[in-house]
Amino acid sequence: MAQSSESVVIIGGAIVGSSIAYFLREQGFAGSVTVVERDPSYQFSSTALSAASIRTQFGTPVNIHMSLFGAEFIRTIKDRFGAGADIGFVERGYLILGGPETVEVRRAGVEMQRLEGADVAALSPDEARKLYPWLNVEDIGVATTAWRNEGWFDAWSLLSLLRRAARARDVTYVEGHAEGIELDGDRVTGVRLSDGTVIAADWCVNAAGAASAAVVRKLGIELPVCARKRTVFSIKAPLERSNVPMLFDTSGAWIRPEGEGFICGIAPGEDNDPDADGDFEPAHELLEEFLWPALAHRIPVLEQLRVERAWAGHYEVNMLDHNGIIGPHDKIGNLVFATGFSGHGVMHAPATGRGVAEFITHGQYRTIDLSPLGFGRVRSGTPLHETVVY
């Protein structure tokens, strides 16, 4: 077990970093915990700009178990943070559509997910149309959904709860830019800020999201993590919201209820998806060229919609396999990664926080074995592909 005199410095204070700080205290870590966050307003944080959803429909078993814990964490939020804690969890499930050519693979995927504990089902086109009469099913072969443990919530509210709870347990938040990590041989000794300050560290956790590759590049470590811009459109439309899940279309378009309307989006093509470092300008052209036609085809009443606003955030995409990188560096044992989640960082933050805290405090994962997501696969170039990516 980690000694009470040890210190942990977490680079990145958004949902993943703050979850780690919170769970370090939950796991009994008694040393100092410092979180370095360069933008305490979180104006450009992926957490604040995300669609804040959770799903159990994954192709990688470890991701399913992380989501199951995340859903439990969200559902019991008041037990942890008090009766006033509310993150607006809407447990309505994802509806992921597949073409006729995907039926066999998708049904096999559902069977695997069920074996791992997810309460999911594969629907025929007719079954999907009965549940969702507004849905055009003429060109789909299968629709998968979950009856429990999927939905959406307010990520900013969750982050606020975690930060408040961490601070109440003597976690220190420092505003600053982590410019470098100092080593003595193969051990981290501190984190150097851009103002010259060095924060001593027995453990360093890289939870810097889309900036995590830059944090370790001077150490000669090449993380395959980069920023990819994703635009979200807020719309009004003549569609009753109460029976609309988080819908993912065969085209790649997605839509879900939010407030008095909906939010929706679509990823750009791979040939038009460059590194987005510093670029937060919404890609308005995606709406007219791709998103609106796809939505109108799948939900005919969406031929009529009105755009209220748009914003862009960043995915921290792991270009190796679209899975998170969690755990220690293979040579610098007290440098721990928690990054590269490729769009599912918010939903997997609780499980990541608990797992990293277990590893630092007890020297091993005690609940979910996160070792499949370890750095070793980056070193060897052996991907653990996540096949259900949006």
Block mean pLDDT (10 aa), the chain, length 390: 79 97 97 96 82 95 98 97 96 97 97 98 98 98 98 96 98 97 97 97 97 96 96 96 97 96 95 89 96 98 96 94 97 98 95 98 98 97 91
Range of the domain at 207: 7-53+155-224+320-380
Looking at residue 51, what is its pLDDT? 85
- Name the nearest CA neighbour of 144 among 119, 168, 174: 119
Q: Are residues 217 and 312 in the same domain?
A: no
CATH number at residue 373: 3.50.50.60
Q: Which region holds residue 75: left if phi is over 0, alpha if psi is between -120 and 50, else beta?
A: alpha
Residue that is last in its domain, among 274, 291, 318? 318
Q: How far apart are CA 352 and CA 73, in angstroms?
A: 12
Q: Are residues 133 and 244 in the same domain?
A: yes
DSSP per position, 48-94: HHS--EE----SSHHHHHHHHHHHHHHHTHHHHH-TT-----B---E
Q: Are residues 202 and 245 in the same domain?
A: no
Q: How many structural domains does the chain have?
A: 2
Residue that is last in its domain, among 318, 349, 369? 318
CA distances in angstroms from 34 to 8, 160, 204, 219, listed in the order given: 6, 17, 10, 21
Q: Are residues 324 and 355 in the same domain?
A: yes
Q: Are 34 and 336 in contact (CB under 8 A)?
A: no
Q: How far apart are CA 207 and CA 21, in angstroms?
A: 11
Looking at residue 285, what is its pLDDT? 96
Looking at residue 390, what is its pLDDT? 76
Looking at residue 300, what is its pLDDT? 98
Looking at residue 2, what is its pLDDT? 53
Q: For residue 59, is it within any domain?
A: no
Say whether pTM exceeds 0.85: yes
Q: Are residues 275 and 375 in the same domain?
A: no
Q: Are residues 217 and 234 in the same domain?
A: no
For CA atoms 161, 166, 167, 168, the dihedral sign is: positive
Q: Are residues 163 and 31 in the same domain?
A: yes
Q: Are 239 and 128 in contact (CB under 8 A)?
A: no
CATH number at residue 275: 3.30.9.10
Q: Are residues 196 and 306 in the same domain?
A: no
- Name the nearest CA neighbour of 344 among 15, 25, 18, 13: 15
Residue that is last in its domain, among 318, 335, 357? 318
Looking at residue 324, what is its pLDDT? 97
Tokens (6 digits) for 27: 């796991």
Q: How far apart are CA 9 and CA 206, in angstroms?
A: 9
What lies within 8 Å, CB to CB, of 74 at 6+ separation is 54, 87, 89, 153, 158, 350
- Name the nearest CA neighbour of 291 among 259, 250, 254: 254
Q: For residue 75, is it within any domain?
A: no
